[in-house]
Amino acid sequence: MNNAEYNYSEFVSSPNEFLEFAVHAPKASMRAPSFPLEDLATGATVHMKDLWSTGVTVMEFGSFT
Amino acid sequence: MERLADQYANRAVRSVFIYTREAHPGENYRHHRSMEEKRRNARAFLEHSKVRRQILLDDLEGAAHRSYGLLPNMTWIIGRGGLIHYKSAWTSAADVADALEGVLDFQANRAKNQWALFYSERTAWSTRDQARFHEGLVRAGPQAVADYERMLKGSGTSRNAPSPDIGPRVPGNFYRTEEESGER
């Protein structure tokens, strides 16, 4: 999947996306992958692993649309 | 989810919102072609939704989103040190709260009670607020409405009831009756 495919301009549902999530995304009891993210408020880089270094973290993924 | 974040903040639970690609881009909030466009839409989301949680932007290529499964509104609970306790295809505050109670109990009492962690799966449920969802599509623009209606016509999802005791099918419900599976 390239950048244009990821940021699609028109919504087209993928019949297998939920199955992919269930089967291929990390599972409960595994170690969470960490990626750098950008804090919208400050512009600072936040590494996901720093979120859960001291306690429990709830992560909701989403967008405006 | 805002209320839940407030409720658990004093129990050392950190709640964040990770901003991904636009799920239903339209004329008013288009797909992202740059990080600046992504920031602009995220700021509009913040202004509209009044989210108080920390908003973190994934990169333009969606590296984190892809790694966690690409769904548009999933929630994950990660324990101290990075152990995945919970992954959910859709976000339900009630289900997240139920799972959080278990996670906090485990973390507080694991050693004392000699609990051993194991892998488990289960179903969850929530009310589908179609009117509110449609408002969001309209806000995004006519194209978002048309794209979604085209998907509904093509797939029939959310309209079929596979059986009286399992409710309307929504994306992520894999259940098929014997008849639908061709086993009868």
Q: Which of A27, A35, A40 sits opposite B84 (nearest CB)?
A: A27
Is B43 domain-assigned? yes
Q: What is the tally of structural domains in chain B?
A: 1
Q: Is A11 on the interface with B (CB under 8 A)?
A: yes
Look at the pTM and tell me if it is higher than 0.80.
Answer: yes
Q: What is the pLDDT of residues B9-64, one digit of tens each?
A: 999 999 999 999 999 999 999 999 999 999 999 999 999 998 999 999 999 999 99
Is B106 domain-assigned? yes
Is B177 domain-assigned? no
Is B35 domain-assigned? yes
- A38 Cβ contact list (under 8 Å, min separation 6): A44, A45, A46, B35, B56, B57, B59
Q: What is the pLDDT of residues B151-180, one digit of tens each?
A: 888 775 555 555 666 666 677 788 777 877
Q: Is B71 on the interface with A (CB under 8 A)?
A: yes
Among residues B152, B147, B125, the alpha carbon closest in space to that of B136 is found at B147
Edge-to-edge, what's the strand order for the sheet holding A56-62? A45-47, A36-39, B54-57, B13-19, A56-62, B75-78, B84-88
Which ipTM did the prediction report?
Answer: 0.96
Amino acid letter, residue B43: R
Q: Which two tokens stand for residue B84?
A: 């995945």
Amino acid letter, residue B95: D
Domain with B27, as residue range(s), is: 1-162
Is B87 domain-assigned? yes
Q: Is there a contact between B158 and B168 (Cβ–Cβ < 8 Å)?
A: yes
